[in-house]
Structure formats: C-alpha cells, structure tokens
Amino acid sequence: MPLLTGLHRYPVKSMYRQSPASATVEPWGLSGDRRWMLAGQDGKAITQRDAPALSRFRTELDEDGALLVTSPEGDRLRVPAPAGSASPAVGDIFGSRFAAAEAEEKAHLWFAEHLPQDLGPVRLLHLDDPLARPVNERFCTPGDTVSMADGFPLLATTTASLASLNDWMTAKGATALPMERFRPNLVVDGVEAWEEDGWRRVRIGELTFRAVKLCGRCVVTTTDQETGERQGPEPLTSLAAHHRLDKKAAFGVNLIPERPAGVSGDVLGTVRLGDLVTVLERGERLPAA
C-alpha cells in the first residue's frame, strides 16, 4: 500500500530541513517552505551550489513569522519577517526574477560573518508575496506560483527509486545514499521503482497534485547534508548512466497542488505522515528539461 513516509520543508533555500509529522499545503508549496533565501548584491540566489556548508545552518519559524537561524558554531540569529513595501528587493533564481523584501541589515552582516568571504556581500531576502513568482509557463496552468524553490511548489521522491539507484551505485563499489541528499518535500513508499516518471495526478491524503516535470539533478546531490561537504561524483554518475532523461540526470517528480472544490484562501489542506497515496492518472514519461 503506497504511503507518505517522509515530509520535509526548508524554511531557507539550501539550508537544513525540518521534518514535521504534518504540514499545511498552500498553492505555492508547503507552508513555510523556502520563503527565505540568501542572495548576492545582484539578487541572484546563493545556494549549496555556491556554498555547500549552507546545509549545516539550522532554521526554525516563529509563530509571528520571524526566522530563527543557528549557525554550525551555535550562534543564533532572529530575523523578523520584513514588510515588502518598506524594503523592496528583486530576487533571481536561475533567471526567474520576482519581487521580494530585504531583511534587516543585521541579518546580512550576520551571514557575512558566518559564510565564506569569497561569496562577497550577501543579503537575506523574504518572499512576502507568494503570488510574485509564477511557475514556468511550459509546465503550469495560468495563476500557478512557486516559493523560492528552484522551480515548482513540491518535489516528491520514492523509496523504490532510491533503492534502485543505490543498487546501481553499490554494484560498482560506491556507497548507498540517504534520501536527504535529494532534498524532497514528500517521500512515497510502496510503489515500483521509477513509476513516478509517468505520473500525471496523484492523491496524497486529502489533497490532489498534478505531476508536471521530472527533476534534473545538480551538484547539490553530491553534498552530505549533515556535514556540508562534497562527497564525490555520486549519485550524478549513476543517474547519468542509468536514468539520463532529456540530457538530465533525473530523480524525483515536481508537483503542483490542486485546489479542492469549495476551498478558498491560502490553505488547501494538510498532508500527514502515513497518508495513503493513490496514483489517479498515468501517462507517457514526463519531461526532465
């Protein structure tokens, strides 16, 4: 029986995960997921591609919306959520530009002290308006928006596909990897390996999601999420050899939540560990690029 066995959100893009037992789903993703990010002076996102050690920064969200960050050394920072009208900024994630809000100056200075100097000046940005960033029009319907995730509201992975990937790696003497390497929001157990490549619509608990694209993976998957250190070419080498789709090393599927009938507002519903997962529609393999 397919079940939801993993649930993760990342309050700050590229920083450490939170793994609650349940999470509210909004049109642009899990509540609190990637509504903050670090950026350079040009607004371009700073991620683990640039600074692998970002994975070691722990984050929490206060009840009033403030962000709490703990550095690898144990230093603490509390940042109130800024008002966009008072601190407007422009964020840029792989060429997707959108309106955001700048955190207070002390946050920029704090991160500058705790990150490698070669990153240059950094700014902490907040996506105060979750309608500000549309999903790539090739894969969405009008009005779909996304947080500061790379491109889509949610990423789902399956334990069977990870087991298959780990079999490929261990067969050539490489070490098996944990699911955390892939930074998913949703982890599904009880389906066949790689069957998510052909999902079209899937129900998880009380909510339904559209599957729109496979996730082409990058160097972040080679970073140990506990130590913040690069660990070599895997899993990219094995994915490129065995699951290279549209010239991408693909793992996981991007989802967009559907609004339930009669539901208005930002809260679409809740997903919970142990929720039943039902694939409602299947089709040809989804694009990966």
The answer to whether residue 20 sits within a structural domain is no
Kindly state whether residues 116 and 144 are assigned to the same domain. Answer: no
The answer to whether residue 245 sits within a structural domain is yes
Kindly state whether residues 118 and 144 are assigned to the same domain. Answer: no
Q: Which of 78, 96, 126 is the last residue of a domain?
A: 126
Closest by CA position to 150, among listed 121, 117, 185: 185
The residue type of 81 is A
Asked if pLDDT for residue 71 goes beyond 90, the answer is yes
Kindly state whether residues 82 and 194 are assigned to the same domain. Answer: no
Kindly state whether residues 111 and 153 are assigned to the same domain. Answer: no
Kindly state whether residues 209 and 185 are assigned to the same domain. Answer: yes
Asked if pLDDT for residue 86 goes beyond 80, the answer is no
Contact yes or no for 192/160 (Cβ under 8 A): yes
Mean pLDDT computed over every residue of the chain: 97
Kindly state whether residues 103 and 214 are assigned to the same domain. Answer: no
Q: What is the pLDDT of residues 87-134, one digit of tens each?
A: 899 999 999 999 999 999 999 999 999 999 999 999 999 999 999 999
Kindly state whether residues 187 and 65 are assigned to the same domain. Answer: no
d(CA 246, CA 259): 30
- pTM score of the predicted model: 0.97
Helix (H), strand (E), coil (C) string for 62-99: CCCCCEEEECCCCCEEEECCCCCCCCEEEEEECCEEEE
Residue ranges making up the domain that contains 84:
35-126
Q: Which residues contact 109 (CB under 8 A, 6 or more apart)?
A: none
We report the CATH number of the domain holding residue 237 as 2.40.33.20
The answer to whether residue 178 sits within a structural domain is yes
The answer to whether residue 82 sits within a structural domain is yes
Q: Which of 126, 147, 177 is the last residue of a domain?
A: 126
The answer to whether residue 145 sits within a structural domain is yes
DSSP alpha helix (H) spans, the chain? 105-114, 159-171, 236-242
Q: What is the pLDDT of residues 222-274, one digit of tens each?
A: 999 999 999 999 999 999 999 999 999 999 999 999 999 999 999 999 999 99
Kindly state whether residues 221 and 147 are assigned to the same domain. Answer: yes
Instruction: Work out how many domains the chain is built from and give that number.
Output: 2
The answer to whether residue 21 sits within a structural domain is no
How many Cβ atoms are within 10 Å of 161's Cβ, its own excluded? Answer: 24
